[in-house]
Structure 1
């Protein structure tokens, strides 16, 4: 039986997100918090962003899924991340790790490796970041770029949607981690969830580019397109290739 994700399944997952409105807690790069929160809301989920050590246990406990982004990392943030991951694992919640700029900082790289040892559901990053990590067991590994490549060890897939202006807007990659998390909250198969989420952001980017004049207007149009995207449009325009 072929259990690889399809565009038709992606449309169904989008409908599930819109119906269930999962709560996504983000320990996010502080540069892009508002953009990510707006994008998660646009796709149909509910974001929260606190990094307070006094609040993190309560927020992660009540969330459906956690996103950990290593941008703007400092000592206090490291402690909160460790606590959030512990809570997510103790409660059996899926979580996404984005090892932002681990290729720039040996200290950040070592921290990322300690987090990977705690078995995130998804690890996503660009080619330079992902080249730093070898076998990560059952964790879904996503290498983003012009095309996004996914593998869980047994299956490999490529999502071919997107637009070049995504690379010119700070935070689109961080936002994709949040959207992946929202889809993980309604789909236990991480490969299916992530492929659907990446197709959704990619199709929205393609639609946004039709109305934008450059990266600035694209960022606004992208949020509009995420909000307006329908399951039928995602099923029709999603481009997901796979190999077994």
Structure 2
């Protein structure tokens, strides 16, 4: 389900780490400030709550600095990029950097909108610890196809972790490469599943000083919760609440059983 090629650093026990970080999130109740798109706000908040974190969601420019400074991590999602979000995002990024808080960029649909792509590049200059995107979004940002080699090169040159999500999630810091195969096709039929899952990535980066490992652990948690939820769901309408229930009840032992490294 998960494969981690050999590297200069010892191979991690990813399921064990995922369970540990999930337990810490529940104990410490870390807050993630999520500037996310209108379609994703409710599900993002519910996913964070189910995992044990605390969400805040304001996109008001006059408030975003205060909320970001009081959070453990920041998520910047470029969906529904209206005037308020365009103004608030640079302020939030600057605040996260000033307070040494990790922040994650989710460049939604940058391949569709040249102005959004330009804005995404300006956000990248703020040095996110993680760039979470799909293959089309990566190709637009990097100017080349999303092959493992190009993704690793981009991560290395930008000093960030790239989490390329899809049927198989690829996570790299430019040196190490982790593939996550957990998940279920029903996840693709629920609006904002990827956007909301990125909030858990942000939460885990605040708990673990290695962004590659934190990102892979968060994606593993989301994928396994999706697999469990799909067992009792006949379609996307049943799947979404089942996913939140699965995430809420997920424990380290289940992660070890479902997330063995191969």
- TM-score category (smaller protein): over 0.9
CA contact (8 A) 1:26 1:48 kept: yes
Alpha-carbon shift at residue 195 of structure 1 (Å): 0.8
CA contact (8 A) 2:110 2:141 kept: no
Change (3 A) 1:240 1:30: farther
2:191 corresponds in structure 1 to 170
User: Which whole-Å deviations, capped at 9, do the CAs of 1:145-204 have from their partners, x for residues lacking one?
Assistant: 011101101111111100000000001001111011111111111011111110101000
After the TM superposition, which residues 74-85 of structure 1 pair with which residues of structure 2 at under 5 Å, given as runs?
A: 74-85=82-93
CA contact (8 A) 1:39 1:223 kept: yes
Match of 1:116 among 116, 124, 128: 124
Would you say 1:10 and 2:10 are equivalent positions? no
> Post-superposition, which runs of at least 4 consecutive aligned residues in structure 1 deviate over 3 A?
none
User: Which whole-Å deviations, capped at 9, do the CAs of 1:54-108 have from their partners, x for residues lacking one?
Assistant: 2111100000000000000022211100100000011110001000000000100
Alpha-carbon shift at residue 3 of structure 1 (Å): 4.7
2:161 corresponds in structure 1 to 140
Equivalenced residue count is 241
- In the alignment, structure 2 segments of 5+ residues that lack a partner are 1-8, 143-153
Corresponding residue SS for 2:76: strand
Alpha-carbon shift at residue 132 of structure 1 (Å): 2.3
After the TM superposition, which residues 1-244 of structure 1 pair with which residues of structure 2 at under 5 Å, given as runs?
A: 1-4=9-12, 6-134=14-142, 135-136=154-155, 137-239=158-260
In structure 1, C-alpha distance between the alignment counterparts of 2:261 and 2:167, rounded to whole Å = 13
CA contact (8 A) 1:25 1:47 kept: yes
Q: TM-score, normalised by structure 2?
A: 0.89
Alpha-carbon shift at residue 5 of structure 1 (Å): 5.2
Q: Which moved more, 1:130-139 or 1:84-93?
A: 130-139
Alpha-carbon shift at residue 240 of structure 1 (Å): 5.0
In angstroms, what is the RMSD of aligned CA positions? Answer: 1.2
In structure 1, C-alpha distance between the alignment counterparts of 2:261 and 2:190, rounded to whole Å = 24
